[in-house]
Structure 1
């Protein structure tokens, strides 16, 4: 018996020793694992917290214009920019001991295990906010042991390297709230059209319940489910002493006004074409790659003036008949710096996103003439320079080919006209003669200096705008004339900031003089002639049809080809241009369609500048003005029935007075004198 007992004791001791050794080994392994994980977390350092964020584009007025993202709409906000109600509601339902544990809530894990055993299945989760944050940042949501191990490692790294507030802030900015909204700021804007910092207790408790099942608990889809979830969260907040029972009841019964997609910005202008151009500037001109644009949460401050954009869209709809298939493009710029204030690339972006303002090249017609006359002025022409307007056939350089341009409706003066009249009446013969006289390269050089990027053919018809160009290039070129010859380029972006406010780009403000300001002014003054009916001659000035709409000084030029209609013009404060035509080169046979560009331009400019000072174009030093007879370019005498104020480089003004009307004036004066005498012929009889 004693022997048997001894054997049992020996066996028990062996088992105890084995268990002790195994326990020590297990403890050592656990200690080793803990130390290894700790060392790994230390060596690996803080995990990167980069998440994709939505880029926000602002108008010049500071309002949100548009947003772009990679499918995850997110706006990162700091913890102090989030309503305390959101923070409290989230902690109450997701992780009430968040500030007490170190990434793993052992109390909650034990409770979840017990609940799962009782239910014989997975019924309760135990993931902390840190674990969820790690999963959202770095991992897929598959349920594997490998993923769980990685999640644990990332959780430890987060807890070791970041403060609790940093972790909570990151979590609040990455969690998914449904309908494409990632993060609390995106959710606040989506559901309530407000910022996260302004959310009420009722709104916060509703949003805090969504992440558990973004579709199932979406108040936009399943309001009953969302309401039940909100009630649970408010009850938890009440139990934890965060809010009172009265606050919980009030929050639960408070009606919530959810933002419906159809209600968002119903009157907002459609700046889709402008946005495309702004994105193109980001990528092509500023060299910012798409990944940075769509994921880095940039704040892009654009040049768009919402009021001007709305005005342009309204005038296009008002002027162009809804039954017409004609297309149109429009650009308005600040001539002082090139900032694009409004842009339209077509009549309907959804039907055709092709941007006719920045991408299409069309024949500019007579809108090319100001560049020609600038070159001619530099070569010694003046407003008084005469050339005969008559049907003319030009022999080309090869000595064989000929070119016979014509005026509108084949009207000609059949006599010499001045440059002032030539541009005001848009005489084509004068233009081609000038082009050939000064040399065909001069127009090409001038156009390139003014920023025309399209290739221009060295042909006589270039003077009449037969080489196609871009609308935005033409408006920009007119802007250089308007500002006195300083270089500008079309600019859509004023400033770019990171999501936390660091300025990474500022549009340059320095400018260089690219053309002579004196000749720029002389050209501008010539272009005011289209509105000055003192220049009427064998036909009326081209601006007469819209003269009733304009109320301030403008310089401009219209242009018409068989397929295109243009109007570009400016005041000292604003330059804009309109193109109208068909996409496929179809001819414009409707008279009304040919008048759309002028009318739209005039109505836009008047509305856009309403309430602003009526500025005049100021002549720089070195110029002088005299009154001339616009028919012959000579100094006007008192007898001239029409006197036109013209500008010249000092010393180049005409020296000869007009005598065309002196005899006529003398005869008129004699007749008036004789008529006066007849009135009083009876007076001598009284004294006979």
Structure 2
């Protein structure tokens, strides 16, 4: 049976002009060789293959996949096998570290990673899931979590809020913003939803730079109320987010879903100042060597003024450099590559996210997401900084350490100097010699009296404050 199938294939190849009559006769005379299949062998880039086939169908509906498989058209992809191998390894190591802390989840937790070139959004590597899942190796027909999975970005959404504020005007990185209890409407007839920070504390007025670095939820909501959610949505679309986002204040905290590729591309736009749609097919060439499709493109500047773009770049660099920043593990003393980025952790620790970039058009952007397909919790304190950031760290070290994409670009000297200056201690402002009488008005946020040891909310000087009982 195998011999007959082999000969049928040779006949078809001869009939379609792929081999000569002499080559067909020679191949028919050769004995069959049996090769043992390596049960552990996996496809290196199944998500890239899936993405290529989908993009091929959309790009050239007049051509079929059969044209591709039969060699009537050749495809040149943007993915780099060296970067892909690095990304595969980094994700597997990250999942292994999580499983060591949670042995009962072995083989169940999933992840996805995508790496883009900043200058044109071409995809260098894409991993839509782990190598082995539910007892079998990943293939190109599997679910691609980079492009198909819509999940909440969590705090990785906040830079879009800050950029929207910079674009609108009236905000700088030194603007004092209130890190104070704040609520959003929960609908008619329902009590409001009060926003808390990850650490459960409020710090009062703080510089906007610090609020972004420390990912203060209350500040993100306050800014959104000041500038309007429509400005946040418009800015997100301008950065490359194509999935419609909910016109609701908690979208500022990442409550609306998007796919990982959109999120990565938005950060890439911030890092480069260039608008582009992600793509994985660079060119299609027919059997005569003529390019039937060439996707090399000229960069298009983002529709964001340079001052606002510089402010958000500096703010995201501060997330790394400020000692209290959520990505301080990537600071220069611990990590030799200059990067900017943001962590993201969704409600009840369901997803852990990190998106980061090296600077400018010559840099790259990588996005990492780890979570369960059934949306269960990853467990307490399993944050983007703990789970996803180390994957980013490993892949960036390997990509730049091997020189695959050249040297890591530096951030502008003046930008780094401003961040350094913000780290220096400042003289406290003199206290004005004015007597002010403060009246506290209690505002109960619960329908039930507080239990022993709980707290009351009081309104002081225009801001609600949490006071110990």
- Pairwise TM-score range, normalised by the shorter structure: 0.7 to 0.9
CA deviation profile, 1:14-51 (whole Å, cap 9, x unmatched): xxxxxxxxxxxxxxxxxxxxxxxxxxxxxxxxxxxxxx
- 1:374–1:593 CA distance, 2 compared to 1 (3 A): closer
Deviation at 1:317, TM superposition (A): 1.6
Structure 1 counterpart of 2:352, from 553, 565, 571: 565
Structure 2 counterpart of 1:218, from 27, 31, 55: 31
State the match for 2:154 in structure 1. 365
CA deviation profile, 1:404-438 (whole Å, cap 9, x unmatched): 1111131221x201110011000000000001110
Distance 2:167 2:371 in 1: 34
Describe the SS at the equivalent of 1:372.
helix
Distance 1:507 1:336 in 2: 14
Describe the SS at the equivalent of 1:608.
helix
Structure 1 counterpart of 2:93, from 318, 322, 329: 318
Describe the SS at the equivalent of 1:575.
strand
CA deviation profile, 1:261-313 (whole Å, cap 9, x unmatched): 7589x988611111100111111234353243334532111111111111111
Contact 1:364 1:465 in 2 (8 A): yes
Gaps of 5+ in 2: 1-7, 100-105, 432-469
Distance 1:582 1:72 in 2: 43
Instruction: Please show how residues 189-588 of structure 1 align to structure 2 within 5 Å.
Output: 208-211=25-28, 217-220=30-33, 260=35, 262=37, 270-290=44-64, 291-321=66-96, 323-348=106-131, 350=137, 353-380=142-169, 381-395=171-185, 401-413=191-203, 415-484=204-273, 486-516=274-304, 517-533=306-322, 536=323, 540-547=324-331, 549-561=334-346, 562=348, 563-572=350-359, 573-588=363-378
Deviation at 1:397, TM superposition (A): 8.2
Contact 1:274 1:342 in 2 (8 A): yes
Deviation at 1:209, TM superposition (A): 3.9
Relative to total residues, which structure has the larger helix share, 1 or 2? 1
TM-score (norm 2): 0.76
CA deviation profile, 1:611-652 (whole Å, cap 9, x unmatched): 4424223389xx99757974xxxxxxxxxxx429xxxxxxxx
Distance 2:270 2:226 in 1: 23
Contact 2:330 2:339 in 1 (8 A): no
Deviation at 1:379, TM superposition (A): 1.4
Distance 1:467 1:219 in 2: 57
Distance 2:212 2:338 in 1: 17
Distance 1:397 1:437 in 2: 20
Deviation at 1:173, TM superposition (A): 1.4
**Greater CA radius of gyration, 1 or 2?**
1
Contact 2:283 2:291 in 1 (8 A): yes
Deviation at 1:551, TM superposition (A): 1.2
- 1:351–1:425 CA distance, 2 compared to 1 (3 A): same
Describe the SS at the equivalent of 1:219.
coil
Distance 1:279 1:267 in 2: 22
Distance 2:158 2:168 in 1: 15
- 1:458–1:299 CA distance, 2 compared to 1 (3 A): same
State the match for 1:597 in structure 2. 388
State the match for 1:618 in structure 2. 412
Contact 2:42 2:138 in 1 (8 A): no
Distance 2:149 2:400 in 1: 28
Structure 2 counterpart of 1:660, from 424, 428, 436: 428
Q: Is 1:609 matched up with 2:400?
A: yes
Contact 1:549 1:602 in 2 (8 A): no
CA deviation profile, 1:31-86 (whole Å, cap 9, x unmatched): xxxxxxxxxxxxxxxxxxxxxxxxxxxxxxxxxxxxxxxx969999xxxxxxxxxx
Contact 1:475 1:577 in 2 (8 A): yes
Contact 1:282 1:288 in 2 (8 A): no
Gaps of 5+ in 1: 1-70, 77-132, 138-169, 176-182, 185-206, 222-259, 631-641, 645-657, 664-688
State the match for 1:173 in structure 2. 19
Contact 1:338 1:476 in 2 (8 A): yes
Give the total of aligned pairs: 397
- 1:420–1:327 CA distance, 2 compared to 1 (3 A): same
- 1:268–1:378 CA distance, 2 compared to 1 (3 A): same
Contact 1:558 1:568 in 2 (8 A): yes
- 1:625–1:532 CA distance, 2 compared to 1 (3 A): closer
Contact 1:518 1:619 in 2 (8 A): no
TM-score (norm 1): 0.53
